[in-house]
Amino acid sequence: MADEQEHAILAMAEEGIALVTLNRPEQGNAHTQQMRQCLDRIFRQCDGDDAVRAIVVTGAGKAFSAGRDVEGVLEGREFPGAARYRALEKISKPVIAAVNGACFTGSLELVLYADIIIAPERAVFADTHARFGIIPGGGQTQILPRLVGMKRAKEILFTCEPLSAHEAQRLGIVNKVVPLEKLDEAAWEMAEKIRRNIPEALRIMKRLINEGMSKDLESGLQLEAREHTGPINPRGEGRARMTALLKKK
């Protein structure tokens, strides 16, 4: 099944994996308000579809995304706040960003909310807000220090210098670096590994991790404990799997 929009395309695989493609290749997939609205609709559609167990996001053409559309920024056609990027974090399904090329500024804010990032060796990451006198609005000043540490985050944000895929991996931004010709395969393999597991468990664990990152360790442990109360008692598909495993012994 494929749902085509002007600036983004949703393709649904029978295996329960949704592929979302940023679709402005001639403009380097730069974000416009229309693209963000389109992506928000697609993400909500995927989140509400029980058949979807994992989502892969990538870009058409050579770039993942050049960031926000410059013309739109100059003309004041801006879209408000971090909510435009946090859609990926709020999706209950695991999201894999297959960053196929340049990933700058606004698009870096976007992918930092993905759960897993896979990139080819040619991918480049950078934040250029300071170069143009713009204050980040997608959470960059808060998410990046928590991910790479305060000193490295300041260096990335203050200098606007690009990071190679391998350097981004060393900093913990990227999970895996692969040759370009292996990117789709690697993203699909990761999605397939996730797809095999129980959706309800994945949904709860994603929420616990995301909510826990804003708390101290003790509060985070209490958050987890509230989900893990009473005896372990798997239900539904999980119980069926465990019963089948017992019968094999």
pLDDT digits (tens, 9 = 90+) for 114-142: 999 999 999 999 999 999 898 888 888 99
| Interaxial angle between packed helices 199-212 and 236-248, expressed in degrees from 0 to 180 and rounded to the nearest 10 | 120
Sequence length of the chain is 249
Backbone angles phi, psi at 164, to 5 degrees: -75, 165
By the 8 A CB rule, do 187 and 58 touch? yes
Q: Report pLDDT for 175.
A: 97
The residues with which 65 forms a beta bridge, in sequence order, are 103
Q: Report pLDDT for 155.
A: 97
Please write down the HEC assignment for all residues of the chain.
CEEECCCEEEEECCCCEEEEEECCHHHCCCECHHHHHHHHHHHHHHHCCCCCCEEEEEECCCCCECCECHHHHHCCCCCCCCHHHHHHHHCCCCEEEECCCEEECHHHHHHCCCCEEEEECCCEEECCCHHHCCCCCCCHHHHHHHHHCHHHHHHHHHHCCCEEHHHHHHCCCCCEEECHHHHHHHHHHHHHHHHCCCHHHHHHHHHHHHHHCCCCHHHHHHHHHHHCCCCCCCCHHHHHHHHHHHHHC
Task: Show me where the domains of the chain are located.
Answer: 2-195, 198-229
* 152 vs 135: CA distance, rounded Å: 18
98-100-101 Cα angle (round to 5): 140
Instruction: Give per-residue pLDDT as tens, 47-61.
Output: 999 999 999 999 999
The answer, yes or no, to whether residue 157 has pLDDT greater than 70, is: yes
The hierarchical CATH code for the domain 2-195 is 3.90.226.10
Half-sphere exposure of 44 (CA within 13 A, CB side): 7
The answer, yes or no, to whether residue 75 has pLDDT greater than 90, is: no
Average pLDDT for 7-18: 85
The residues with which 111 forms a beta bridge, in sequence order, are none
Instruction: Give per-residue pLDDT as tens, 202-235.
Output: 999 999 999 998 898 999 899 888 887 654 566 6
Average pLDDT for 89-102: 93
Q: Report pLDDT for 135.
A: 87
Residue 180: which pLDDT band, with cuts at 50, 70 and 90?
A: very high
